[in-house]
Chains A and B, each alone.
Chain A
């Protein structure tokens, strides 16, 4: 469960992007959810400033928008790491060790669910059934599915992501300043 969204300050381009998103979607029925999705997709997460901007542009109370954002676990109000790890806790995965996987990941990454590592590499989330129950327990790292994962193999599983990041200079995820991590 998230508390107050990050106090990240949007750049001028990010604000413009947000204005464009709202403009292009605001006339459709039930515009709020598509707008929030598009904003999160392009900005990475929904900061206080982004939400307040949307509130103003839609002329909709901030408390009402936050009600929607906090209702769906899909929305995130904190900056994400480069890789989001989702551990499936659907029934099949749960009984076949999903819970232990999660505990082990918390230990390795030193974060709780919903948080991001200090180096901004990994965020930890739980998921509900990725439709791969036969391969339980399952976890996803961004769009890649990893099946029949064992807690003991986790460190090895994460290693390539760490080194890949070292070798890559470009960074397409949103720029995040140090204060945003709180």
Chain B
């Protein structure tokens, strides 16, 4: 502990802190651009420079540790001029027109120009002419807008363990992207969109489906229905100025009606269905091993996160048999919308357009997979991210904040609280255990408030175990079994967990993996900017949505009972097998 001076104010600090940390503690905002909390600072952009007494040159605040007796000026005229010049140089190489840019509502570069008081451009820089890359289903890269901050590199390789993006070439010709100047589809990218979530500018974005959705809505022949993932309701408000963690389920429903969707349904409905199918699948695997003494792939891995599916297919194909064969809730919904719902409502499935609103870019990729046509049609037609829905609402002139709360439509809008928590890391596991425990013992899960606390929160790898006692027939083979489960989020954590399982260091019956840090609430399609504080608020909001529901367990949802009685038969039955389950392919 030593003393430093920052803008004439004395402060105690130590050398584990950077100048940026010290400024934050004293309520001073130093502008940053390349800096990304939680990653080693690169000191690449120099926007954060400050003056340190005794030093000849200006110092990058994000990457410089405090030293005893440092005297720091964060906003001296010299500093301000330097920051302006840095930004002017960046802008002079930046090929973009804010008026026509999808990021003009949340662009960090533009915001910085405003904050630093830039007026007219002083330099006209040489520009790298590079083509836009639309090679993948979910993402668009516009390298001409890239400011080379390398946040995407850090996130893709360190957090996700994928490594699709790296600096290529050298000097002025440097680009940040896939190998050489190739397109993203020529390297392994799991389409998670975590790069999109951290990119400060419009250099990587989701491939927009807004225009397609508008065209469908305009077509009088089409019956356009929408499903929203649980994570949307805890984040959409942020697009309209609400603080993170405010639930806007009712307003979101009202907005979707006003946009013109014929039915407003819920991915939660098919999340409940997923629990029935995936829980039954787990019990079947356990029976094969424990009762029949045969072998089955355990642990079973959850399969609702399409980035994780891509990751397994590319990096851990030996674990494909462990993946639950259940489609994700989005795809179960699509397959049922064009069969069950079409039949029930007497509408020609060919005329039904299914739109989903997802916190995720990989869902766009998933919806476009060849095999996702089990209804006889493309099961899900278009996927909007939370951010795109925010734009669509604004585009339609809807004043979101003054909307009343409305309820979703039946039957595919009914759900339990267990479905809500699919949005949080640990939630799918908790939802599954609520149902599996009760089905096998006839008793409610005996934990406080039905939660499994060790599985909640932002730790990268979490585990829990639960002894099953008092089983009823035909589940007696589970009597006294210690059910061991684990949860990981962020693919880097998933890979670490898998390596441990492979090495025999850990073993489980069931493992939940979500691609994005924090789970879907931290998805690549969520409003920017998602920090850990924001994640925690969204997580808390989701748990309170669950707790406020009259039904908290998937098997209690009457719409689920109805669909099995009227249409599907039983979990893992023939129809389920055809519509709700899928298979995976090893990829290079």
Question: Chain A: residues with CB nearer than 8 A to chain B?
Answer: 1-5, 51, 60-67, 70-71, 77
Residue contact B180 to A70, C-beta cutoff 8 Å: yes
B163 contacts chain A at the CB level, 8 A cutoff: yes
Q: Which residues of A contact B188 (CB under 8 A)?
A: 61-62
What would 13 more interface pairs be, CB under 8 Å, given A2-B180, A61-B187, A63-B164? A3-B180, A3-B181, A4-B180, A4-B182, A5-B180, A61-B188, A62-B187, A63-B177, A63-B187, A66-B166, A66-B179, A67-B167, A71-B167
B157 within 8 A of A: yes
Q: Which residues of B contact A71 (CB under 8 A)?
A: 167, 169-170
Q: Which residues of B contact A67 (CB under 8 A)?
A: 166-168, 179
A67 and B182 alpha carbons, distance in the complex (Å): 12
Q: In this complex, which of B173, B182, B188 has the most chain A Cβ atoms within 10 angstroms of its Cβ?
A: B182
Give complex CA distance A3, B179 in Å: 9
16 contacts between A and B (CB under 8 A): A1-B169, A4-B180, A4-B182, A4-B186, A61-B162, A61-B188, A62-B187, A63-B163, A63-B187, A64-B163, A66-B179, A67-B166, A67-B167, A67-B168, A70-B168, A71-B169
Contact A1 B173 (CB under 8 A): yes
- A1 and B175 CA atoms in complex are apart in Å by 12
| Residues in A neighbouring B165, C-beta threshold 8 A | 63
Closest 6 CB pairs of A and B: A61-B163, A66-B179, A67-B166, A63-B166, A63-B179, A70-B169
B178 within 8 A of A: yes
Whether A4 contacts B178 by the Cβ 8 Å rule is no
B180-A66 in contact (CB<8A)? yes
Residues of A within 8 A of B169 (CB): 1, 70-71
Question: B179-216: which residues lie under 8 A (CB-CB) from chain A?
Answer: 179-182, 186-188
CB distance from B143 to the nearest CB of A (A): 14
Nearest to B181 among chain A residues (CB) is A3
Shortest Cβ distance from A78 into chain B, in angstroms? 12
Of B164, B167, B181, which is within 8 A of A4 by CB? B181
Min CB gap A114→B, angstroms: 13
**In the complex, which residues of chain A have a beta carbon less than 8 angstroms from the beta carbon of B180?**
2-5, 66, 70, 77
Task: Evaluate contact between B170 and A70: CB separation under 8 angstroms.
Answer: yes
Of A4, A5, A63, A77, which is in contact with the most chain B CB atoms at under 10 Å from its CB? A63
Contacts of A1 in B (CB 8 A): 169, 173
Write the residues of chain B forming the contact surface with A, with a CB cutoff of 8 angstroms. Answer: 157, 162-170, 173, 177-182, 186-188
CB distance from B582 to the nearest CB of A (A): 27
Complex CA distance for A111 and B478, rounded to whole angstroms: 74
Q: Which residue of B lies closest to A51 (CB)?
A: B179
Q: How far is the CA of A99 from the CA of B167 in the complex (A)?
A: 30
Given contacts A70-B169, A70-B170, contact A61 B181 (CB under 8 A): no
Nearest-CB residue, chain B, relative to A56? B588
Chain B hits for A4, CB < 8 A: 180-182, 186
Chain B residues contacting A64 (CB-CB under 8 Å) are: 157, 163, 166
**Residues of chain B with a CB closer than 8 A to A62's CB:** 179, 187-188
Q: Enumerate chain B residues within 8 angstroms of A60, measured Cβ to Cβ.
A: 163
Residue of A nearest to B179 (CB): A66
Give B282 Cβ to nearest chain A Cβ, in Å.
31
For A3, the chain B residues whose CB sits under 8 A away are: 180-181
Q: Are A61 and B166 in contact (CB under 8 A)?
A: yes
A125: min CB distance to chain B, Å: 16
A137 to B569, CA, bound (A): 85
From residue A101, how far is it (CB to closest CB) to chain B in Å?
A: 24
Instruction: Report the bound CA distance from A103 to B186 in whole Å.
Output: 35
Residues of the A chain whose Cβ atoms lie less than 8 Å from the Cβ of B173: 1
By CB atoms of chain B within 10 A, which of A51, A60, A67 has the most? A67
| Complex CA–CA separation, A70 to B169 (angstroms) | 5
A77 and chain B: residue at smallest CB distance: B180
Distance in angstroms between the alpha carbons of A71 and B178 in the assembled complex: 14
Min C-beta distance of B127 to chain A, whole Å: 16
| Residue from A5, A61, A77 in contact with B164 in the complex, judged by beta carbons closer than 8 Å | A61
Q: How far is the CB of A63 from chain B (nearest CB, A)?
A: 4
Determine the residue in chain A with the shortest Cβ distance to B178: A63
* A55 vs chain B, min Cβ distance (A): 9
Q: For the complex, what is the distance from the CA of A63 to the CA of B183, rounded to whole Å?
A: 11
Q: Report B408 CB to chain A, min CB distance, Å.
A: 43
Question: In the assembly, what is the distance between CA of A150 and CA of B187, in Å?
Answer: 46
Measured between beta carbons, the chain A residues less than 8 angstroms from B177 are 63
Instruction: Give CA–CA (A66, B301) in the complex, Å.
Output: 33
| Whole-angstrom CA separation of A2 from B173 in the bound complex | 11
How far is B180's CA from A5's CA once the two chains are assembled, in angstroms?
A: 8
Measured CB to CB, the closest approach of chain B to A34, in angstroms, equals 20
Which B residues lie within 8 Å of A66 (CB)?
A: 166, 168, 179-180
Q: Please measure, in the bound complex, the distance between the C-alpha atom of A88 and the C-alpha atom of B177, giving whole angstroms.
A: 31
Q: Which residues of A contact B187 (CB under 8 A)?
A: 61-63
Q: Which residue of A lies closest to B173 (CB)?
A: A1
B181 partner residues in chain A, CB cutoff 8 A: 3-4
Which residue of chain B has its CB nearest to the CB of A68? Answer: B166
Which residues of chain A are within 8 angstroms of B162 by Cβ–Cβ distance? 61
How far does the Cβ of A113 sit from chain B's closest Cβ, in whole Å? 14
Cβ contacts under 8 Å, B163 to chain A: 60-61, 63-64
Residues of chain B within 8 A (CB-CB) of A61 are 157, 162-164, 166, 187-188
